[in-house]
C-alpha cells in the first residue's frame, strides 16, 4: 500500500524538496518521517517548505564542497593490492570491488561496495577503478595489483630447487652416458 508524503529533503530515487510523492507505507512511517526527511502533506507542512528548501540548498553546497575536496584527495591516491599469482602474471583468484573497498578503508576512506564499479581482474598490472561519490561525481582511482611478496619468495625458492634438481639429474645423466649420443649404457656384472 502506498502513501503520499511531502519531501523535506532531496532523496535519490524518490524526489526533491517540496514534491509530494507516493512511497510505500512502511518506508514513509519507519524511515522518512521519523528522520524528518518527509511529512504528511498538510497546510502547516506546506508552509515550512521554503525553509526546508533553503536548508537543503545549504546542505547540498556543503556536501558539494566536501565531495570536491574528497575527490582531489582520492585522485592523488594509489592503491596497491597484493595477490597470489603464477609466473605468467595470472592471479590464482581475482581482485574485485571488495578488495578495493577494504584497501580504501585501511587508508581511512570508508566506502560502500555499491560505490565501486569495477569488474574483477585476474592479472597483475595497473587498473583504473571508478568510484561513485554521487551519481554525477565519479573519481577514477589508480590500482596496482602486485605479486604477494611472501608468495613470490616461496615460489621462487621452489623454482630454484626444481631447476637445481633438474640440473643435477642432467649432470648425472650426462656423466652416466659419457659415450656416444644415443648409446645406452649396458650394465656390467661384477
Residue 47 in domain: yes
Give the per-residue SS3 of 102-143.
Answer: HHHHHCCCCCCHHHECCCCEEECEEEEEEEECCCCCEEEEEE
Question: Comparing C-alpha atoms, which of 23, 22, 21, 42 is closest to residue 31?
Answer: 23
Q: CA 42, CA 142: separation in Å to the nearest integer? A: 50
Pair 106, 129 in one domain = yes
State the chain's mean pLDDT as an integer.
Answer: 85
Pair 141, 98 in one domain = yes
Cα-flanking dihedrals φ and ψ of residue 145, to 5°?
-105, 115
Q: What sign for the dihedral angle of Cα 67, 70, 72, 74?
A: negative
Pair 37, 61 in one domain = yes
Residue 168 in domain: no
Q: CA 33, CA 5: separation in Å to the nearest integer? A: 9
Pair 90, 58 in one domain = no
Residue 167 in domain: no
Name residue, grid cell 565501486.
Answer: 116
Residue 129 in domain: yes
Pair 50, 96 in one domain = no
Pair 65, 24 in one domain = yes
Pair 86, 146 in one domain = yes
Where in the sequence is the domain holding 14, given as residue range(s)?
2-70
Q: CA 83, CA 81: separation in Å to the nearest integer? A: 6
- The residue out of 70, 100, 127 marking a domain boundary is 70
| CATH number of residue 121's parent domain | 3.10.430.100
Q: CA 178, CA 190: separation in Å to the nearest integer? A: 20
Report CA-CA distances (Å) from 170 to 49, 54, 161, 176, 182.
87, 83, 14, 10, 15
Pair 34, 91 in one domain = no
Residue 58 in domain: yes
Partnered with residue 128 across adjacent β-strands are: 142
Q: What is the pLDDT of residue 72?
A: 87
Pair 52, 82 in one domain = no
pTM score? 0.58
Q: Are 138 and 111 in contact (CB under 8 A)?
A: no
Pair 146, 81 in one domain = yes
Residue 183 in domain: no
| CATH number of residue 61's parent domain | 3.40.5.10
Residue 156 in domain: no
Q: What are the residue ranges in the chain where pLDDT is below 70?
A: 149-156, 177-190
Residue 181 in domain: no
- The structural domain count of the chain equals 2
Give every strand in the sheet of 78-83, ordered side by side. Answer: 78-83, 138-147, 125-132
End-to-end CA distance of the chain: 100
Pair 96, 118 in one domain = yes
Amino acid at each position: 500500500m502506498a502513501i503520499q508524503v511531502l519531501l523535506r529533503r532531496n532523496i535519490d530515487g524518490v524526489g526533491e524538496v517540496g514534491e509530494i510523492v507516493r512511497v510505500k507505507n512502511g518506508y514513509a512511517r519507519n524511515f522518512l518521517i521519523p528522520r524528518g526527511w518527509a511529512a504528511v502533506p498538510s497546510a502547516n507542512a506546506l508552509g515550512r517548505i521554503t525553509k526546508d528548501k533553503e536548508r537543503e540548498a545549504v546542505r547540498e553546497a556543503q556536501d558539494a564542497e566536501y565531495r570536491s575536496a574528497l575527490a582531489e584527495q582520492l585522485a592523488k591516491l594509489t592503491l596497491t593490492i597484493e595477490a597470489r599469482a603464477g609466473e605468467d602474471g595470472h592471479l590464482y583468484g581475482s581482485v574485485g570491488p571488495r578488495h578495493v573497498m577494504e584497501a580504501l578503508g585501511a587508508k581511512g576512506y570508508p566506502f560502500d561496495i555499491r560505490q565501486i564499479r569495477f569488474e574483477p581482474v585476474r592479472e597483475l598490472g595497473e587498473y583504473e577503478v571508478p568510484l561513485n561519490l554521487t551519481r554525477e561525481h565519479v573519481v577514477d582511482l589508480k590500482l596496482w595489483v602486485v605479486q604477494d611478496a611472501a608468495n613470490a619468495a616461496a615460489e621462487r625458492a621452489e623454482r630454484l630447487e626444481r631447476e637445481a634438481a633438474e640440473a643435477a639429474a642432467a649432470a648425472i645423466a650426462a656423466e652416466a652416458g659419457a659415450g656416444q649420443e644415443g648409446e645406452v649404457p649396458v650394465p656390467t656384472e661384477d
